[in-house]
Structure 1
Amino acid sequence: MLSAIVLNEDQRDSEVYFARLRSIDLETCVEFIERRHTVKAGDRDEELELLFSDQHRINFREDIGSKPFWRLVILQNPGDQSTFTAAWFFHHALGDGGCGPIFHRTFLECLRTNASSRSVTEPSSIVTPPSTPLLPKFEDLHPHPISWPFFLRAILGSIFPSLFDPRAPNLWTGPPVTAPDPLPGSKVHLLPLSASTTTHLLKSSRENNTTMQATLECCIATALFSVLPADSYDKLIASGPISLRSVLRHEGKPIGNDDFALALAEYTHTHTRASHPSSTEKFPWDEARAVRATIQAELAKKGADNVVSLLRYVSDMHKFFTEKVGQERKVSFELSNLGLVRAGADAGDGWSLGRCVFSQSPNITGPPICCSVVTGGDGCCVLAFSWLEGMVEDELLSAVVASVERQIQGLVGEED
């Protein structure tokens, strides 16, 4: 998760520039890097994509016990100290995606406080963290109710998958799960939308009684159907996280907006080719409304009968995942949307939050394509597509991104 500005550059030069990130032993959890070029707003940031790909490869278990499960990389614009990119990478065990904006809001507040302070003190390399106790784990903050029918179906589905959890015919979920050694690297492709496009897309979604999440999900599904062979694949399963932060209570009170927590449920929605015309035809608003209904139904359950709650019954997590090797994946793609990052009012003469990007490292047993979305303080929405090398062909992913962009521009054109 980060705030950013953008610039195109030759990819081969970028790879050479960032190669040193793979070879140095970081002395601290904070690193400063000078960009090779100043970023131009609105362009695709290939330099940032390469940084993401590099950071996604770094295992948090390295130097375990001596470093926290987070890293901060500051990208500085050449010759410009007034603008920089703060890229904060953290392990999912520390919190869910919604914790990224919490860090950036706090970081921004510190910048503004220091900028307005009249006293200047010598910075110290030794920082004493606050003694504020962390929230209890998710299992202690939420009851995770599971009904017997849901529980029995999950158990029987794991034992007799062909009977109780049959795979739909002609469903595309990428290649089966493999365990290559060494593990493949990840790739990232950013699709930035202008503030005007973002506003029109949100307005169009609301006018058609749906949400930005549902609209973007239908764009990705339509794009995949346009590149997959029609005679082989006519179904896709999309998944997305649902925040349960609003239903959590600690010591009788709702948890705060700035409390770190890992509190997620999951929804899934099956898309059929018949419900998705080609990207050059009319947009499938009926399907977008169906996605919204799926999400609302899951939200209404407030975390009950959700697959996430079943993880507490897994006694050996390593075995749970290694047993997936050779199996087909369950989901075609994941869409995670943090919405708008609100950073508070800008006084006009201090620091402000601009472009934001949200990215996740792909899960080797998860969906072949992951799309992470966030809208920053500049009003621009950015879609970050990530995938593992060898799991999805780069050409297929590029075609999907191009199709998504065409569909969005078509919707914006209809608004204009």
Structure 2
Amino acid sequence: MERFHITKAFLGLDTVILASAQYTTQDGTVLTPETLFPALRNLIESQAPLGLQTMGDEATANVSWVRLPSVDLSRVVEFSGERELADAYESQLARPIKTQTALPLWRVEVLADNTLIFANHHAICDGESLLSFHMLLLRALQETSTSTSVDASPVVMVPDTTLLIPPVEQLVDVRPSFLRTVQELYEHFAPASWRPARFAWSGHPTPFKPPPQINTHIRFLTLPSAESSQLLAACRAHGATITSVLYVLAINVLSRLLQCDPLMRYKHIATITAISLRGAANLPREAIIDYPSSRTTYPRLDPIFSWADAARESRELASMKTSTAKTVGMLRWLFGQYVPFMQEKLGTRREAGFTMSNIGRFETPDVKGRWSVGRTVFAQSDVIVGHALTFSLTGDPSGALNFSFGWTDSSVDTPFVEQFIEGLREAILEII
């Protein structure tokens, strides 16, 4: 999985994943190098992924990790001042993380309102781990703000004693069954007219070559805590989860939009639901890892919401918490040929119309202090050969649900996305 993400970024097919959190105090303390650097020093000295770079031939995916001797925070932390969050996200998503340099595989941007954006290379950190970083950073801020001796210098020596958590295939059984292998081979080699994706909407076809720069559009939507609580209560009453309900609502809204297609080309929607393998590996919530997996489905167009559909989706997702590890295991059958595997996806049908990722709610660490976290947001790229539209969400400590939607001009039309976002908002409110 780590090599897969390194290759994808190397080929210009992906950039970064990122999440932000707003840090606040009652007295309005501002995040400055003097307040932030000691906390980041704490993280670098304790978290091995934050002191890594790559070494080797990325063109063949023959790469290894190398521990950096030091991290210069003045080169990876930017204090950008007044800036809209969406603008900052779009700027970050347009800038891939450079590999094989003297810099780590992550960076930070701090806005004027104390919103801190953590952007990283997907090879060291998955979506849930973005929240893990912010949980660790909040704890470090609490600890350093009460210490009488902190080091605010920008250069942090990377200790040689920290250890990486093993890659996913060492802690989770990812070996695919014979049946799963046959299914995957069929979907890969069967004629296009035989595949389940034939009549499925997946946005515009992929470009014939990677663009010079990935310009991802970002829109946000927030469901306040009161409405989120009502939605959660309704989900529980019907044996569903917020993830399953939002998935079904997304299908409903897209179905209504696609039924307006004058050519009536679509019967299904190609979807991907992200599933973390953290639980399958029995790893703690604050571990920084790259343990993602996913489930691909082709639901029929259906404009009408059903609680029965949402409950069934919830049961299916729960049953796949470990079985989707076999998707990761299928990478073994590429025999290291990641580059041609990815390049052959250019100029073809996309993998999905949308990918839904719910990284969960921010969990405030036990360490108390002056700092607290407000709004949290999560976003990702992978809009060149992956999905036409990203649909990402997370919950902040207040109980609010924060959504982000990402796409490019080549993946789906902006007016279509705006109609989808508004339709989803109205559908959620109707459910409530």
Q: What TM-score comes out, normalization by structure 2 length?
A: 0.78
Residue 290 of structure 1: CA displacement?
2.5
- Aligned residue in 1 for 2:21: 3
Q: Deviation digits for residues 307-365 of structure 1, max 9, x if unmatched?
A: 22211222221111111122212322110001111013585x61001110011113311
Distance, in Å, in 2 between the alignment partners of 1:302 and 1:308 is 7
- Aligned residue in 2 for 1:234: 267
Q: Give % identity.
A: 24
Residue 390 of structure 1: CA displacement?
2.6
Alpha-carbon spacing, 1:330–1:180, altered in 2? closer, same or farther (3 Å): closer
- Structure 1: which amino acid aligns with 2:290? L
- Aligned residue in 2 for 1:334: 355
- Structure 2: which amino acid aligns with 1:312? R
Residue 121 of structure 1: CA displacement?
4.3
- Structure 2: which amino acid aligns with 1:339? G
Alpha-carbon spacing, 1:345–1:142, altered in 2? closer, same or farther (3 Å): closer
- Aligned residue in 2 for 1:280: none
Is residue 258 from structure 1 mapped to residue 276 from structure 2 by the alignment? no
Distance, in Å, in 1 between the alignment partners of 2:309 and 2:376 is 29
Distance, in Å, in 2 between the alignment partners of 1:160 and 1:59 is 34
- Structure 2: which amino acid aligns with 1:32? F
Distance, in Å, in 2 between the alignment partners of 1:396 and 1:139 is 39
Residue 366 of structure 1: CA displacement?
0.7
- Aligned residue in 2 for 1:287: 309
SS in 2 for 1:124: coil
Pick from 397, 413, 416: which aligns with 1:393?
A: 413
Q: Deviation digits for residues 189-224 of structure 1, max 9, x if unmatched?
A: 000111111111111111111110011112211221
Alpha-carbon spacing, 1:4–1:220, altered in 2? closer, same or farther (3 Å): farther
Question: What's the C-alpha RMSD, in Å, of the aligned pairs?
Answer: 2.3
Distance, in Å, in 2 between the alignment partners of 1:166 and 1:180 is 26
Alpha-carbon spacing, 1:209–1:122, altered in 2? closer, same or farther (3 Å): closer
Pick from 150, 156, 174: which aligns with 1:127?
A: 156
Pick from 187, 191, 194: which aligns with 1:157?
A: 187
Q: Contact 2:294 / 2:324 at 8 angstroms: preserved in 1?
A: no
Distance, in Å, in 1 between the alignment partners of 2:81 and 2:311 is 45
Pick from 87, 91, 97: which aligns with 1:54?
A: 91
SS in 1 for 2:429: helix
Alpha-carbon spacing, 1:321–1:302, altered in 2? closer, same or farther (3 Å): closer
Distance, in Å, in 2 between the alignment partners of 1:184 and 1:246 is 32
Q: Contact 1:225 / 1:234 at 8 angstroms: preserved in 2?
A: no
Higher relative contact order (CA 8 A, sep 6+): 2
Q: What TM-score comes out, normalization by structure 1 length?
A: 0.81
Residue 163 of structure 1: CA displacement?
7.2
Residue 285 of structure 1: CA displacement?
1.4
Distance, in Å, in 2 between the alignment partners of 1:104 and 1:181 is 32
SS in 2 for 1:354: strand
- Aligned residue in 2 for 1:173: 202
SS in 1 for 2:112: strand
Q: Contact 1:269 / 1:291 at 8 angstroms: preserved in 2?
A: no
- Aligned residue in 2 for 1:406: 426
Q: Contact 2:86 / 2:218 at 8 angstroms: preserved in 1?
A: yes
Residue 295 of structure 1: CA displacement?
1.0
- Structure 2: which amino acid aligns with 1:268? T
Distance, in Å, in 2 between the alignment partners of 1:167 and 1:383 is 27
Alpha-carbon spacing, 1:163–1:149, altered in 2? closer, same or farther (3 Å): farther
Alpha-carbon spacing, 1:125–1:300, altered in 2? closer, same or farther (3 Å): closer
My pick for the range that moved more, 371-380 or 337-346, is: 337-346
Pick from 145, 152, 156: which aligns with 1:115?
A: 145
Distance, in Å, in 1 between the alignment partners of 2:88 and 2:275 is 28
